[in-house]
């Protein structure tokens, strides 16, 4: 089956620093990747949609300058949390959709970010 | 705007019994898809089952079946013969047009925590 990996699986950083999270589709090419955020005991909220080679589309309320998304290749998208603050602490999950599929999305295992 | 509603924050079921997790939705998009995902404590999202808006028959995948009632805009998940390993958070999701954006994306419900008791 299609596999999506995320790295790191967890990270602790100090307030004011930046953190980069990688999302890779391991055995398929993904023209579209999605980034979600999940607070404890809450649902997944879509942050942005990224298409390979173009700028990401951010959902309302998501700061573009704070959450930088780059989709440089068909197998890699990165989310950089810039100048992180404790309120950015959350579970970040990416998903990828193969270009040949019309609906299926494959999710990564998630990255738990803690900002101290 | 699209909306997904899961009204059961938590459910208990006895091992080997069947359980139904409720999900209702609302969208103006005539071409939408409905999904169920399982999220164990590890956090990974596990795809369970999919139903397209034009599918005539209810989707089934092993012990999972989706009770799709289009007129009532409901897409309940039925798990038969519950197992201890089924204990997890379950999310209903819908892929449909996001307002006037012209884009389609997955919107998730608030989830139902299922606990299977021995």
Q: Closest Cα to residue B38, out of B78, B89, B107?
A: B89
Flag if A103 and B107 touch (Cβ within 8 Å): no
Reported as a pLDDT band with limits 50, 70 and 90, residue A72 is confident
pLDDT tens-digit readout, A77-92: 999 999 999 999 999 9
Place of tokens 């307030």: A15
User: Mean pLDDT over residues A49-57, rounded?
Assistant: 87
CB half-sphere exposure, A10, CA atoms < 13 A? 4
Torsion angle, CA of B72/B1/A51/A96, rounded to 10 degrees? -30
Residue A15 neighbours by CB distance under 10 Å: 12
Mean pLDDT value across chain B: 94
Query: Helices marked H in B24-97 — which ranges?
Result: none
A84: distance to nearest CA of chain B, Å? Answer: 22
User: Mean pLDDT over residues B46-71, rounded?
Assistant: 95
Mean pLDDT value across chain A: 92
User: Mean pLDDT over residues B95-109, rounded?
Assistant: 87
Question: B107 and B94 in contact (C-beta within 8 Å)?
Answer: yes
B34: distance to nearest CA of chain A, Å? Answer: 10
Residues of A with CB under 8 A from a CB of B: 34, 42-46, 49, 57, 91, 93, 95, 103-110, 112
């Amino acid at each position: 089956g299609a596999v999506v990996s995320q790295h790191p699986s967890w990270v602790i950083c100090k307030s004011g620093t930046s953190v980069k999270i990688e999302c890779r589709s391991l055995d398929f090419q993904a023209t579209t990747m999605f980034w979600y955020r999940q607070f404890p005991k809450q649902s997944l909220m879509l942050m942005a949609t990224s298409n390979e080679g173009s700028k990401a589309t951010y959902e309302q309320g998501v700061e573009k300058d704070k959450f930088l998304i780059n989709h440089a290749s068909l197998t890699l998208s990165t989310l950089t949390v810039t100048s992180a603050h404790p309120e950015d602490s959350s579970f970040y999950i990416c998903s990828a959709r193969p270009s040949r599929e019309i609906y299926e999305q494959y999710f990564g295992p998630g990255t738990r970010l803690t900002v101290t | 705007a699209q909306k997904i509603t899961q009204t059961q924050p938590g459910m208990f079921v006895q091992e080997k019994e069947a359980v139904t997790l409720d999900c209702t939705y609302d969208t103006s998009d005539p071409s939408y898809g409905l999904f169920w995902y399982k999220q164990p404590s590890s956090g990974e999202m596990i795809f369970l089952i999919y139903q397209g808006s034009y599918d005539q028959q209810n989707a089934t995948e092993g012990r999972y079946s989706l009770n799709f009632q289009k007129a009532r805009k409901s897409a309940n998940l039925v798990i038969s013969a519950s197992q201890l390993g089924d204990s997890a958070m379950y999310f209903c999701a819908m892929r449909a047009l996001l307002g006037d954006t012209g884009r389609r994306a997955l919107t998730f419900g608030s989830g139902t925590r299922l606990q299977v008791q021995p």
